[in-house]
A and B are shown apart, each in its own frame.
Chain A
Amino acid sequence: MNPLLNEDEQAARAAARTMAAEAFSVGAATPEAIGAAAASVTAADGVQSNLHMTLAVEEIARVAPAAGAAVGSVAAAALVLREAGQEPNGLAVCVGGGSVSADESGVAGTSEPVPAAQYADRFIVIGDDAVWMAAGAATSADLDGLAGSGLARVEVSSGEQIGGADLAQLGRAVLRLQQSAVAVGISAAAQDAALTAIADAKESGGAPDRSQAVQWALADIATEAEAARVATWHSACADTTDQGSAMALVLATDAAAKAVRLAAKIGGVESAAAGGRMAELQRDAKLVELLGGGAAAQLGTIADALLPDVPRA
């Protein structure tokens, strides 16, 4: 067993960190930057694709959660297309949920909000047992959070089936994994923001790092982020079942919501400054927690796997 990143994986993570800082540290992400980043995060020598995606998306989300969500969304679609043997032309995203139905007979309906959908020209519809490439029209979701991620609902209509139940399961798993990676990135960003707040306070003569309230908050942020990170990595490498990826997502979104709350406490009232980093992270964490059906959907998925013979009431 070697549940530690090997050299290639560490190099891929470091490269993603550099790329994230260069491409996304200033201003909103452009569709071009998102497309380029997504193309680079789906392939690296010696690194398993799912793992590479989660490593890179975490690093991007740590700098800019909205960009991480957009790149993750496009990268997840690219992985599904590759698995289906399709050319990764243009900019595709996976959609599902909402009122979308996708089965052997066809696709129709309006999806849940999906990052990067506004910029996409192709839509992969993930149903329970089938995957379709569909035409669609995106409508801005107008939600508070992940500003600049191109979040939109998509109305899908006609299309062509490109895979069955196995591809659908893989699609759901990579979607959850990229969302988990965004959430882990937000936890890391919250830790960074807390450390910045501590450094600023020290410059003004304070010593918040000697306060146990601050120390414990930092420890809890680090602990839960690490738990979510290992669950995400494990699911990316070893367990792309619905259950494994759902567990990673529950842990990661819970951790992110808690991390931003604790980091904001460390920063004090300045954390609520309009347009400030902490306030933005709180909105982003909340939205990432809610996308894809939220924890309730994931917990339902896990429970269904654990209790196959006991149908839900």
Chain B
Amino acid sequence: MDWKLTADQSMIREMVREFADAEIAPHAAEWDRRKEFPSATFEQLGELGLFGMVVPEEWGGAGLDGTAYCLALEELGRVDASTCVAISVTNSVYCAPVNKFGTDAQKDRWLRPCASGQWLGAFCLSEPDAGSDAAGLTTRAERRGDDYVLNGSKAWITSGEVCGAMLVFAVSGEVAGKPEFSAFIVPREHDGVAIIHREEKMGLRSSCTNQVGFEDCVLSSDHLLGNEGDGLKIALDSLDGGRAGIAAQSVGIAQGAFDVAHSYLQERDAFGGPIGRFEGLRHELGRMAAEIRAGRLLYLRAATLRDRGLRNTRQAAIAKLHASEASNRIAYQAVQMHGGYGYVTDYDVERFYRDARVTTIYEGTSEIQRLVIARAVLQSATGA
């Protein structure tokens, strides 16, 4: 067992840490206040190779492993979860599936520009009436000659209005009375694609979350990713990859909240000295640190399994469940340690608190992670 990072992993973590501290941290609160998507910073992130981190260099990516990618997400989450989520979506649920299931022609057209930093990708699975229950999608892709025609709407789409292309999941037919799903690569500027609105959110306020509509959106068959009927497989595989990333993001948010609380305990005086001398707060700080460490180790294990081509469904679900729930507890506690100052926007800690909240919801809620984990435990008991 070797917990040491490789040279590449350490290098990417250092690089992202430096960039995050210098270029993102000083502005994150202001972007959040103004709900402003920081386009110029994303151009820089694209130039640094952070849009297609796990995509091979031949397709414009950085050719890194999933572990390095998760380490980068943690560093971004530590300073700004909004920036982090757009990077996470473009990497793990746009670039990764297009790289894995796309043809060379598709990669040339829709992976290379994204992976090389020209534009962001988006992932359109959720709908207004179907989130956890992905099998309940109603967006349809009907065959018309050699083409497909998309109709329906997608909800909660991260980077919808700022992306270059999106991966869209739709019902393309029926097999044995059950809907069959397919995945399509759809450029944002394509005819029939409309950004319906932007959500007003509790947190992640500088990331764009959109409802996206498709009305008679005609796609030639070269937009189909994989084969007809592969949609669910592609979606689930993408989410397995994405969950370790959201765990890493959660650890980053928790670390950010921890860091400000750690400083505050040393700066704030009460009853004649720093509040960090009080045992109750010290113990809470200790517990926060232990939970952060566990979350980090769990996402590293889940990512390593995937890097080795091994299935990581259970480990990724465990990492996401643990890290996202812990980041909420930690951010809550960090606000508490700030007293009244934790409740006002002058301090970053309230942003961490709001941003942590969504981590138990997206890319599979905590309840869904529990179902995934329980199924794996029950299967292992029966030897299935």
Scan A184-210; emit 1 where CB is below 8 A from any B CB, else 0: 000000010001001100000000010
Asked whether, in the complex, the Cβ of A228 is within 8 Å of the Cβ of B294, the reply is yes
How far apart are B284's CB and chain A's nearest CB, in angstroms?
Answer: 8
Expressed in whole angstroms, the Cα–Cα distance for A214 and B301 within the complex equals 26
Q: How far in angstroms is the closest Cβ of chain A from B174?
A: 27
Interface residues of A in 74-121 (CB under 8 A from B): none
Pair A302/B3 contact, Cβ less than 8 Å: no
- Please report the total number of A residues contacting B with Cβ < 8 Å: 55
Who on chain B is nearest to A227 by CB? B294
Which of B1, B277, B304, B305 neighbours the largest number of chain A CB atoms within 10 Å of its CB? Answer: B1
Q: Is the beta-carbon distance between A307 and B301 smaller than 8 angstroms? A: no
Would B373 and A238 count as touching, CB distance under 8 A?
A: no
Question: In the bound complex, do residue A222 and residue B318 qualify as a contact, i.e. CB atoms below 8 Å apart?
Answer: yes
Which stretch (A3-11, A129-137, A157-165) binds chain B?
A3-11
| Additional A-B contacts beyond A3-B300, A234-B3 (8; CB < 8 A) | A1-B3, A4-B304, A6-B1, A198-B378, A219-B372, A231-B297, A234-B293, A306-B286
| A214 proximity list for chain B (CB < 8 A) | 374
Q: Which residues of B contact A279 (CB under 8 A)?
A: none
CA distance A155 to B295 in the complex (A): 41
Chain A residues lying within 8 Å of B276, measured Cβ to Cβ, are 307, 310
Residues of B bordering A, CB below 8 Å: 1-6, 9, 67, 262, 265-266, 273-274, 276-279, 282-283, 285-287, 289-291, 293-295, 297-298, 300-301, 304-305, 308, 314-315, 318, 321-322, 367, 369-378, 381
Residues of chain A within 8 A (CB-CB) of B372 are 219
**Inter-chain CB contacts under 8 Å: number:** 160
Where chain B touches its partner, the secondary structure class is helix
> Could you say which of B294, B297, B304 contacts A2, with CB atoms under 8 Å apart?
B304
Closest beta carbon of chain B to A90's beta carbon, Å? 31
For B374, give its contact among A219, A231, A300 (CB under 8 Å): A219
Contact A218 B293 (CB under 8 A): no
List the 9 shortest-distance A-B pairs measured between CB atoms, nearest first: A302-B286, A303-B282, A215-B374, A219-B370, A299-B286, A247-B290, A219-B373, A227-B294, A299-B283
Residues in A neighbouring B315, C-beta threshold 8 A: 226
Q: Which of A9, A304, A307 has the most CB of B within 10 A?
A: A307
* Contacts of A37-82 to chain B: CB distance below 8 A: 48, 51
Q: In the complex, what residues of A have CB within 8 A of residue B295's CB?
A: 227
Decide yes or no: A310 and B289 within 8 Å by CB, A215-B370, A215-B371 being known contacts: no
Q: Is A296 an interface residue (CB 8 A)?
A: yes
Contact residues in B for A306 (Cβ distance below 8 Å): 262, 282, 285-286, 289
Instruction: For A311, list chain B residues within 8 Å (CB).
Output: 277
Task: Give the most central of B278, B286, B372: most A CB within 10 Å.
Answer: B286
Tell me whether B282 and A299 are in contact (CB under 8 A).
yes
**Contact with A230, one of B297, B305, B373, B377 (Cβ below 8 angstroms):** B297
Q: Which of B367, B371, B381 has the most CB of A within 10 A?
A: B381
**Residues of B contacting A198 in the complex (Cβ-Cβ under 8 angstroms):** 378, 381
A300 with B370: CB separation less than 8 A: no
Known A223-B322, A303-B285; contact A216-B374, beta-carbon cutoff 8 A? yes
Smallest Cβ-Cβ distance to B266: which chain A residue:
A310
Check B321 against A238 for contact (C-beta < 8 Å): no
B286 touches A298 (CB 8 A): yes
Q: Which residue on A lies nearest to B283, using beta carbons?
A: A299
Contact with B along A290-304 (1 / 0, CB 8 A): 000000101111111
In the complex where A247-B290, A300-B279 touch, is A310 in contact with B304 (Cβ < 8 A)? no
20 contacts between A and B (CB under 8 A): A1-B3, A4-B1, A6-B1, A218-B377, A219-B373, A223-B373, A226-B315, A226-B318, A231-B294, A234-B3, A234-B297, A296-B283, A303-B282, A303-B285, A303-B286, A306-B262, A307-B266, A312-B277, A313-B277, A313-B279
